[in-house]
Structure formats: C-alpha cells, structure tokens
C-alpha cells in the first residue's frame, strides 16, 4: 500500500494538494495522512501568557480544520489520518514523512518571493530540497 503525506496549512493551494492526493489514492490502495503544522511563535514583544493564548487559539483552529477535513472525507472509501505538529513547518513535514516512511509528499505552492520561490513557497521549496522521497508540488 502506498503512503501519501499531504501538507495542509488551510490555504487554497493546500486544498488543491489534498484534492490531488485523493485523486491518486482513489486509483490505488493508498492511505493518506494529512499533516498540519502550527508554527512556533518567536515574537519577543509577547508575554508568555499572550504567546500561550495565541498558541492555544491556533491549536484549536488547526484541530477544528483537521476535523472538518476528516468529516468531509468520511464518506469516501479512503484510509485517512490527520496529524498536527508544532514547530518549523518544513522540518515537521519532513520529520513526519521520514517517521511514517511515506512514499510521496504532496504539498501546495503559494508562489512567493525570490527566484527559487517564484514557483514555490518557502515551505514547499525546503520540502523539495530536503525530502528523501518524491514530492509533488501542486500549483
């Protein structure tokens, strides 16, 4: 069975990546794991209390979004799992892929800044550069 990891950040491009993963999985016996990463908050202007409140709000928002996705896919004959991590998004996506021994990572692209980031966002660019498995970037 093929293992597909989808990086999802709630954006339209990550929705497109999920759609592509569903298409690929529908034609095989693949399982899909959707990973969402809550970024670390390094804002020095915030107190620990404020940082924890923001982190709690982001965590709830992410959990709610993953639950919504899980429910929307429950009628399909797919094996779908969701995972929420915290930290640097690219690092956590790569770490999750390696731990799960996935066959492919599918991610969206925001297409921002710079020459390399002209077609890919910084997270997808890092994932492409450092992944030990194939990466499909959906634009």
- Please give the pLDDT value at position 43: 66
Residues written for the chain: 139
28-54 pLDDT tens trace: 889 999 999 998 877 667 788 888 899
- Please give the pLDDT value at position 139: 86
Rounded to two decimals, what is the model's pTM?
0.88
Structural domains of the chain in order of their starting residue, each with its CATH number? 3-138 (3.40.50.620)
82-134 pLDDT tens trace: 999 999 999 999 999 999 999 999 999 874 444 444 444 589 999 999 999 99
Q: CA-CA distances (angstroms) from residue 84 to 7, 25, 77?
A: 10, 21, 23
Is residue 24 within 8 A of residue 4, CB to CB? The reply is yes
- Please give the pLDDT value at position 113: 44
47-95 pLDDT tens trace: 888 888 999 999 999 999 999 999 999 888 889 999 999 999 999 999 9
């Amino acid at each position: 069975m093929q293992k597909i990891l989808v990086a999802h950040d709630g954006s339209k491009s990550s929705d497109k990546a999920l759609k592509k993963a569903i298409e690929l999985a529908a034609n095989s016996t693949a399982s899909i794991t959707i990973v969402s990463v809550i970024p670390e908050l390094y804002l020095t202007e915030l107190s620990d209390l404020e940082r924890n409140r923001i982190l709690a709000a982001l965590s709830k928002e992410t959990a709610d979004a993953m639950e919504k996705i899980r429910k929307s896919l429950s009628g399909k004959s797919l094996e779908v799992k969701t995972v929420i991590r915290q930290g640097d998004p690219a690092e956590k996506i790569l770490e999750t892929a390696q731990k799960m021994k996935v066959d492919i990572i599918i991610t969206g692209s925001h297409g921002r800044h710079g020459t390399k980031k002209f077609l890919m966002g910084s997270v997808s660019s890092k994932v492409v550069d450092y992944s030990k498995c194939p990466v499909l970037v959906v634009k």
